Amino acid sequence: GENVEQHPSTLSVQEGDSAVIKCTYSDSASNYFPWYKQELGKRPQLIIDIRSNVGEKKDQRIAVTLNKTAKHFSLHITETQPEDSAVYFCAAKGSGYSTLTFGKGTMLLVSP
Amino acid sequence: DAGVIQSPRHEVTEMGQEVTLRCKPISGHDYLFWYRQTMMRGLELLIYFNNNVPIDDSGMPEDRFSAKMPNASFSTLKIQPSEPRDSAVYFCASSPGQGTDTQYFGPGTRLTVL
């Protein structure tokens, strides 16, 4: 089955800096890669996703890049703000209709 | 739409008791997922349904866990008997299917087994 590795497990940045979280996946047939943000005590919420036929996608301060050859994808957050502090999860969906396999999460702390 | 609804939001029970968690998916969604989240193991898929039919229950930890979906608007996850190691946050999520892969999570049920 699919295996997703996520790094780093924790990331501390100063407000205004950029943050990058990286994930690798094992199933070359995976075709859907969402990113979820989970604030303390809340549910995971989708913030951005990308499909395998697209190399990059942006939404205001967040962007996701995908390298199918290397089987890795990354989340980029620019101009970080304290409210960006949360746990971020990457996920990958394997071939066919299958389920999402989640990474272990990255705790992002943005200090004022 | 109110989103995915779960109840109860918090459950505290004693070891050996039966626990039933409930979920109402978003109307019109064909897929329903049950996840368990712990610090040690992260977010784990327990079971998922397509059009009320269980498709993959390989993530269910053992026979003490069971899940049902009697209709398109309701699902239950039951633990009997419960054990302290079952303490976790249990999330239900639903997805439209039909080419849309996005999963929408409910608020979760925080289960504590004493």
Looking at per-residue confidence, does A96 or B29 come out higher? Answer: B29
Please judge whether B101 and A93 are an interchain contact, meaning their C-beta atoms are less than 8 angstroms apart: yes
Query: B65: Cβ–Cβ under 8 A, 6 or more apart, which residues?
Result: B46, B77, B78, B79
Q: What is the mean pLDDT of residues B33-38?
A: 96
Cβ <8 Å between A32 and B101: yes
Please state, in angstroms and rounded to a whole number, the distance separating the CA atoms of residues A12 and A69: 29
With a pLDDT cut of 70, the percent of chain B lying above it is 99
- Neighbour tally for A6: CB within 10 Å: 20
Q: Determine if residue A71 is left, alpha or beta; phi over 0 gives left, psi from -120 to 50 gives alpha, anything else beta.
A: left
Give the chain B residue whose CA is nearest to the CA of A107. B39
Closest-CA distance of chain A to residue B69, Å? 18
**Whole-angstrom Cα distance, residue A80 to residue A19?**
7
The answer to whether A37 touches A59, Cβ cutoff 8 Å, is: no
pLDDT value at residue A7: 97
- Are A89 and B48 an interchain contact pair (Cβ–Cβ within 8 Å)? no
Residue B114 clears pLDDT 80, i.e. is over it: yes
The alpha carbon of residue A43 is apart from the nearest alpha carbon of chain B, in Å, by 5
pLDDT per residue as tens digits for the range B94-109: 999 877 789 999 999 9
Note whether A107 contacts B: Cβ–Cβ < 8 A. no
Residue B106 in contact with partner chain A when CB distance is under 8 A: yes
Q: Terminal CA-to-CA distance of chain B, rounded, Å?
A: 36
In chain A, the N- to C-terminal Cα span, in Å, equals: 41
The answer to whether A43 faces chain B, any CB pair under 8 Å, is yes
Question: Helix, strand, or coil here: B34?
Answer: strand
Query: What's the rounded mean pLDDT across residues A93-106?
Result: 83
Q: Which residues on B lie below 8 Å from A45 (Cβ)?
A: 105
Nearest to B106 among A43, A89, A101 (CB): A43
- Residue linked to tokens 């304290």: A82
Q: What 3 state SS string does chain A have?
A: CCCEEEECCEEEEECCCCEEEEEEECCCCCCEEEEEEECCCCCCEEEEEEECCCCEEEECCEEEEEECCCCEEEEEECCCCHHHCEEEEEEEECCCCCCEEECCCEEEEEEC
pLDDT (tens digit per residue) in A18-55: 999 999 999 998 989 999 999 999 999 999 999 888 88
CA atoms within 13 A on the CB side of A95: 5
B106 contacts on A by Cβ (under 8 Å): 43
Element spanning B35, H or E: strand B31-38
Using the predicted structure, report yes or no on whether residue A108 has a pLDDT greater than 90: yes
Looking at every residue in chain B, the average pLDDT score rounds to 94
Residue A98: its pLDDT value, please?
65
